[in-house]
Amino acid sequence: MGSAELGSVALRLRQGDHVGVLKKAVKGGTELVSGDQIITASATIPSGHKMALAPVRDGGPVRKYGQIIGFAQGDIAPGDHVHSHNLICKEYERDHAFCEDYEPTELYDISKRRNFLGYGRPGGRAGTRNYVAVISNVNCSNSVSKHVANHFNNSDFKRQFPNVDGVIALKTQGGCGVEPGGPMQIIRRTLGNMARHPNISGYVMIGLGCEDNQIKGIREDYDLDKLKEGEVRPQFMSIQGSGGSLKTIKAAIRAVENILPKVAGAQRTEQPLSKLLLAENCGGSDGNSGCTANPALGFASDELINHGGTSVLAETTEIYGAEHLLTNRAASPEVAEKLMHQIRWWEDYARRHDSTIDNNPSVGNKEGGLTTIYEKSLGALAKGGQSPLMAVYDYAEKIDTPGLGFMDTPGYDPISMTGLIAGGCNIGVFTTGRGSVYGCKPAPCIKVSTNTSLYQWMEEDMDINAGTIIDGTETVSDVGMRIFEKIISVASGEKTKSELNGIGDEEFQPWFPGPQY
């Protein structure tokens, strides 16, 4: 059937790994040569999937990234396709050596740190965009908020207010029938922190009037009536209190019209990278994600942190099985324990809903070559680079510690990114191997493809191609530096593909854990 050099076909990520990731599809019977070793593919294996490079006995651990990604179901021989038919999850003991690998970040000398062009905001923060928001505190006011935002979506507005990126509606899928404890705190924290996001220079908040999640409660809990110097006074209204939907739309339009002249004069000025808060996420992952885009983003994350910036991972259910790599480099036992508390909460949450965390990866992930949650988590964690874990946050909690952080969120992309942005992230990078088209107003979102085929197929949606790493034309650090430079450029005003395509208005989705009625 022919032969090829093993290194030109399969990528072994760590010495001692039992599997390699295929750079291209291999037909059954192909001989792969590495020195004196010849491995014959036992079946046709797709690109991005795993081929066994060493034998594993039935029940034995299978390693990738130098870590256990699952256990063999049946004997596995070199050349076999390693996937869902012969690789399973089982519980095993991981070494949670809190803080054992912690090493403080060495920041670059202040004279070498980079700047970006952003909008100075009250409280010493900086925005990467300049939006006015119409915020719904309950789903019942979503249509009204959308009508208000749409009123300003025209060419006349753009000519009149060239320094305003737009008027956006942040719509809430819930807000009534919410448990008064934790779930109510989460939705109020999300909306309260979004109201003061550095990319939002003014806002109007609209409710129905009779909902459980009262606007009054958000105003009180997050001091929205106490303005810092330079902040624009918001407007609060309810549909019932205003006399119906049409009257509310008119009143809200007038309120936005009063806000716009006050924010239209904002100018970009040089801001230190220490004022950038990066949201990191991945969606539609494949077998290349942990080899290309995610480690490249990890390199960019470390670079940003070395300049004094902040980078935040999320998706607790998608670091499951790899969390020890974070706790072991945590800055303090308290930080490590908070992460473990979140892991235990998700284990209990899954049990209460007759599910298990290891039912991930998704159908698309598996088609792309991912098999177990351990494998997916190890690849996802690569986005965090090598920096120490400085802080762990609850969902939508204000991000206030420079360096690498982690936020507790579900694995569902819109909910996860909403939490990160509500926490204060003013820019995002989203890696994808299957082809996510995610956008994320009010924060620009850079999308990185894990493979060249995807980039070429969906070039109008992808900002950066990390597939060049598999292709052999660039290294992880080469692509990582391109991502870092793109972060600075986009933070300074360059439009992402999502923004150019008008995508990002529907992705705001706060998390509602627990039962609702």
pLDDT beyond 80 at 358: no
What digits encode the pLDDT tens for the residues 142-166?
999 999 999 999 999 999 999 999 9
Average pLDDT on 310-326 reads 96
Give residue 514's pLDDT.
64
> What CATH number should be reported for the domain whose range is 121-269?
3.40.1400
Q: Per residue in 351-364, is it b (16+ CB within 10 Å) or e — as a string? A: eeeeeebbebbbeb
Nearest 10 degrees: Cα torsion 197, 282, 403, 328: 140
pLDDT beyond 90 at 355: no
What digits encode the pLDDT tens for the residues 471-500?
999 999 999 999 999 999 999 999 999 999
Lowest mean pLDDT among 199-213, 322-336, 350-364, 414-428: 350-364
C-alpha to C-alpha distance for 51 and 506, rounded to whole angstroms: 40
Give residue 364's pLDDT.
87
What digits encode the pLDDT tens for the residues 163-178?
999 999 999 988 998 8
- Which of the four pLDDT bands, split at 50, 70 and 90, describes residue 359? low
Q: Per residue in 374-385, is it b (16+ CB within 10 Å) or e — as a string? A: bbbbbbbbbbbb
CA dist list (Å): 488 to 67, 275, 312, 484, 493: 33, 11, 17, 7, 9
What digits encode the pLDDT tens for the residues 188-209?
999 999 999 999 999 999 999 9
What digits encode the pLDDT tens for the residues 286-317?
999 999 999 999 999 999 999 999 999 999 99
Share of residues in the chain with pLDDT > 70 (%): 98
Encoded tokens for 180: 């008064």
Give residue 356's pLDDT.
76
pLDDT beyond 50 at 266: yes
Among the listed residues 67, 61, 53, 62, the one whose alpha carbon sits nearest the alpha carbon of residue 12: 53
Give residue 517's pLDDT.
35
Q: Which CATH architecture best describes the domain 3-88?
A: Roll (2.30)
- Which of the four pLDDT bands, split at 50, 70 and 90, describes residue 91? confident
CA 178 to chain centre: 26
C-alpha to C-alpha distance for 428 and 250, rounded to whole angstroms: 34
**Whether the Cβ atoms of residue 395 and residue 412 lie closer than 8 Å to each other:** no
Among the listed residues 401, 216, 436, 188, the one whose alpha carbon sits nearest the alpha carbon of residue 308: 401
Name the average pLDDT for the chain: 95
Encoded tokens for 402: 């420079």
C-alpha to C-alpha distance for 159 and 422, rounded to whole angstroms: 29
Average pLDDT on 253-274 reads 97
Share of residues in the chain with pLDDT > 90 (%): 90
Give residue 143's pLDDT.
98
Average pLDDT on 401-429 reads 97
Among the listed residues 64, 52, 4, the one whose alpha carbon sits nearest the alpha carbon of residue 378: 64
pLDDT beyond 80 at 357: no
CA dist list (Å): 46 to 71, 81, 255, 290, 300: 21, 9, 56, 17, 29
pLDDT beyond 80 at 458: yes
Q: What is the domain partition of the chain in residue ranges?
A: 3-88, 121-269, 272-500
